[in-house]
Structure 1
Amino acid sequence: MTLPPLRIGVWAPVHGPRAAWQDPAEPFDASWPHNRDTVLEAEALGYDATLVAQHTVNPHLPEKDQLEAWTASAALAALTSRIEILAAIKPYLYHPVVLAKMALQIENISQGRFGFNLVNAWNRAEFEKAGIAFGEHDARYAYGREWISVVERLMAGETVSHAGEHFRISDYRLSPASPVRARPRIYLGGESEPARALAADHADVFFINGQPIEDVQAIIADLTRRPRRGAPLAYGLAAFVIARESEREAEEEYRRLLALAARDAPAKQEQAARTDPNVVMIRTFAKSPRVGTNGGTAAGLVGSYDQVAERIRAFHAAGIELFMLQFQPLRAELRRFAAEIFPRLDRPAPGAAADLRVAQAG
């Protein structure tokens, strides 16, 4: 079996550090300059994608800064030349016509390097405090199914008329279309049955939260069995990486971050109170200690450089095409991974040209 090309991405620091919020090695910074410079450096180092998570208010520390995903993604699209820009989207926040137009605009700015990650919101307070409807878990997926059915057709250049439970659209067509392909790529994240069914019907790539390879294989097997139109579904994996010269050094850093993360317990308790208890990923995260978000270190990418590379190869052989990685401290570990792990994955290490672009990015 021929494996799809292995792609490596990085989460943009839209709401500060991913592992621990009181780390002296990673001061809180969710600013536009920090996000811009991180993504420019990632592109220069050879990373293939970046994921810009969407929140209007910081979901972990509501008093702290939060980058806006879609305006930032448009700016990143204009500043970059190769890296894929993925913006997360919660359907309740944008009418499908408006969102499809925004997606096509960023697709044109990027010349075909844009995709969006459809997610079912979990932070109830973000919606309710704004007076925005926040349905129950399965109702949100039913809304998202109707929403994406409209968005997908509009992005593909169709003239759309639609009369459904939530939207009524008459003879609507958007222009210009994508300059290089049928439409922007659709990613979808979630672990529940409604999420999997929606991914099989509408997504190009299914994002899996970090978890052991046996669980990932079971998810891929389940999705592969489902009927589907068009090309086979591709798969991405979120994971937090701690890679060092030796396994002992990596475990020491893991314990450091785990101890720092324990200091965040009061804020995490408040966050839990704002979270929909029916969200399946929350139960997945509770299975074992971890650092990082969206499963974090549960994927097992903690170890020596050789061990981490070997585990990534195993996930790739299991069907993971795109690894969306987290690091802390972000910029230093981004460089370490490119220098040490890229060559072990048969990817070029950053060269002189990349070093120059990094220096220019700040």
Structure 2
Amino acid sequence: MTHPLRFGIWAAVHGSRAAHHDPDEPDDAGWARNRDLVLEAEALGFDAVLVAQHTMNPYDEGRDQLEAWTASAALAALTRRIEIIAAIKPGLYHPVVLAKMALQIEHVSEGRFGINLVNAWNRAEFERAGLPFPAHDERYAYGREWIGLVDRLMRGERVDFEGRHFRVEDYRLKPAGTFRPRPTIYVGGESEPARALVADHGDVWFINGQPHGDVAALIADVARRPAAQGRLRYGLSAFVIARETDADAKDEHARLLDLSRRDEALRADTRARTDTASVMFAKTDAAATRHVGTNGGTAAGLVGSYGTVAERVGAFHAAGIELFMLQFQPFEAEMRRFAHHVIPLVRR
């Protein structure tokens, strides 16, 4: 089976992705930096940008935090080709309101918008706002009912629904279906409820960065399940360190690891606010002494010479990964390096 190969970036919504004390990386989560970053990524040929959703900075509450949905709407108006994917935590928005927002951004972008359904892990983000933060599996049950409604509303269906969490009476949203049936639905999470949810409601499953064998096993498990939306596609998060030689890349990885040790107090504060049932944090916290980056980071193994990184991208692609959602540090300089030296090798 052949499938497309696309490269995306994580927007710098809370600043640095690896180490917060890097003199070469501005710990800047502001709109101007993110706007310029995404416009340059589009010019370099990247295919997508993921705008993660947090209302407060999840790593340091004293730092800036970009708001995902207003920023995505602005990016939709400024860009012409790149896909804009906004993360959404269902507990923060009623499905009718969110579906209308998604359709508006879909219309502004002329069919280049996607939503990334995520199961929130930062308890403080909800509890300090007086919002409920149920247990892990209960949040997925809520999210399942939520995305079922959002899906129908984004398709322009007239919806009458009464469930455990929501009641919607004779609701229909317009405009819908102008460019395609609805925006793309991405789903994150690797727990059993997450896998069942993506098979039932997702178009693309986002997998956190981890070794090739683990990724292949995850894809095999979900691929065995009937997919309600047709053929399910797969994306992978990864932090990239590419250099002229494997040794140079290894040295840079060591430099970032050394810098990240200065962030231990920040990580401890984050752990204290994290749902202990989160599969992502169970994996990434255990590997923090060996890897840098969020959502798995360098655990995906995209560290090495340009040829090594291109070869490993090819292996993941052969296993079924279509979209690589990438992180870099310093972001702008390393994004350019990847575009100029790695993407051409992969395309060949």
The reply to whether TM is greater than 0.5 is yes
For structure 1, which segment, 228-237 or 189-198, has the greater mean C-alpha deviation from structure 2 after superposition? 228-237
Per the normalisation by structure 2, the TM-score is 0.98
For structure 1, which segment, 110-119 or 230-239, has the greater mean C-alpha deviation from structure 2 after superposition? 230-239
Change (3 A) 1:128 1:230: closer
Deviation at 1:282, TM superposition (A): 1.2
Equivalent residue number for residue 161 of structure 1:
160
The answer to whether the 8 Å contact 1:238/1:296 transfers is yes
The CA distance in 2 between the partners of 1:25 and 1:62, in whole Å, is: 22
Amino acid in structure 2 at the alignment position of 1:218: A
Gaps of at least 5 residues in structure 2 are: none
Equivalent residue number for residue 320 of structure 1:
321
Equivalent residue number for residue 353 of structure 1:
none
Equivalent residue number for residue 218 of structure 1:
217
Change (3 A) 1:287 1:267: closer
CA deviations 1:71-116 (Å, max 9, x no partner) are 0000000000000000000000000000000000000000000001
Equivalent residue number for residue 297 of structure 1:
298
Question: Identity rate of aligned residues, in percent?
Answer: 67
Equivalent residue number for residue 7 of structure 1:
6
Equivalent residue number for residue 268 of structure 2:
269
Deviation at 1:28, TM superposition (A): 1.0
The CA distance in 2 between the partners of 1:266 and 1:161, in whole Å, is: 49
Q: Is the aligned partner of 1:339 residue 2:340? A: yes
The CA distance in 2 between the partners of 1:286 and 1:174, in whole Å, is: 42
Equivalent residue number for residue 330 of structure 1:
331
Deviation at 1:286, TM superposition (A): 3.7
The answer to whether the 8 Å contact 1:178/1:184 transfers is no
- Name the SS of the counterpart of 1:37 in structure 2: helix
Change (3 A) 1:201 1:293: same
Q: Is the aligned partner of 1:75 residue 2:74? A: yes
Deviation at 1:229, TM superposition (A): 2.2
The CA distance in 2 between the partners of 1:286 and 1:329, in whole Å, is: 22
The CA distance in 1 between the partners of 2:102 and 2:215, in whole Å, is: 29
Deviation at 1:230, TM superposition (A): 3.5
Amino acid in structure 1 at the alignment position of 2:97: V
The answer to whether the 8 Å contact 1:108/1:178 transfers is no
Equivalent residue number for residue 206 of structure 1:
205
The CA distance in 2 between the partners of 1:113 and 1:178, in whole Å, is: 13
The CA distance in 1 between the partners of 2:278 and 2:160, in whole Å, is: 32
Deviation at 1:281, TM superposition (A): 1.1
The CA distance in 1 between the partners of 2:266 and 2:282, in whole Å, is: 19
Amino acid in structure 2 at the alignment position of 1:226: R
Equivalent residue number for residue 351 of structure 1:
none
Equivalent residue number for residue 258 of structure 1:
257
Equivalent residue number for residue 350 of structure 1:
none
Q: For residues 1-362 of structure 1, what are the structure 2 equivalents within 5 Å?
A: 1=1, 3-288=2-287, 289-346=290-347
The CA distance in 1 between the partners of 2:11 and 2:245, in whole Å, is: 27
Amino acid in structure 1 at the alignment position of 2:312: R
Amino acid in structure 1 at the alignment position of 2:168: I
- Name the SS of the counterpart of 1:65 in structure 2: coil
The CA distance in 1 between the partners of 2:114 and 2:189, in whole Å, is: 17
The answer to whether the 8 Å contact 2:245/2:304 transfers is yes
The answer to whether the 8 Å contact 1:88/1:116 transfers is yes
Equivalent residue number for residue 360 of structure 1:
none
Amino acid in structure 2 at the alignment position of 1:280: V
Gaps of at least 5 residues in structure 1 are: 348-362
- Name the SS of the counterpart of 1:10 in structure 2: strand
The CA distance in 2 between the partners of 1:40 and 1:113, in whole Å, is: 15
CA deviations 1:288-310 (Å, max 9, x no partner) are 32100000000000000000000
Change (3 A) 1:53 1:230: closer
The CA distance in 2 between the partners of 1:34 and 1:295, in whole Å, is: 24
Per the normalisation by structure 1, the TM-score is 0.95
The CA distance in 2 between the partners of 1:272 and 1:16, in whole Å, is: 19
Deviation at 1:287, TM superposition (A): 4.5
- Name the SS of the counterpart of 1:263 in structure 2: helix
The CA distance in 2 between the partners of 1:38 and 1:178, in whole Å, is: 30
Amino acid in structure 2 at the alignment position of 1:267: L
Aligned residues: 346
Amino acid in structure 1 at the alignment position of 2:340: A
The CA distance in 2 between the partners of 1:27 and 1:339, in whole Å, is: 22
The CA distance in 2 between the partners of 1:20 and 1:133, in whole Å, is: 32
The answer to whether the 8 Å contact 2:95/2:149 transfers is yes
The answer to whether the 8 Å contact 2:154/2:183 transfers is yes
Amino acid in structure 1 at the alignment position of 2:303: V
- Name the SS of the counterpart of 1:21 in structure 2: coil
The answer to whether the 8 Å contact 2:203/2:229 transfers is no
The answer to whether the 8 Å contact 1:156/1:183 transfers is yes
- Name the SS of the counterpart of 1:345 in structure 2: helix
The CA distance in 2 between the partners of 1:42 and 1:319, in whole Å, is: 24
The CA distance in 2 between the partners of 1:259 and 1:179, in whole Å, is: 50
The CA distance in 1 between the partners of 2:245 and 2:227, in whole Å, is: 44
Amino acid in structure 1 at the alignment position of 2:310: A
CA deviations 1:153-202 (Å, max 9, x no partner) are 00011000110011000110000013210000000000100000000000
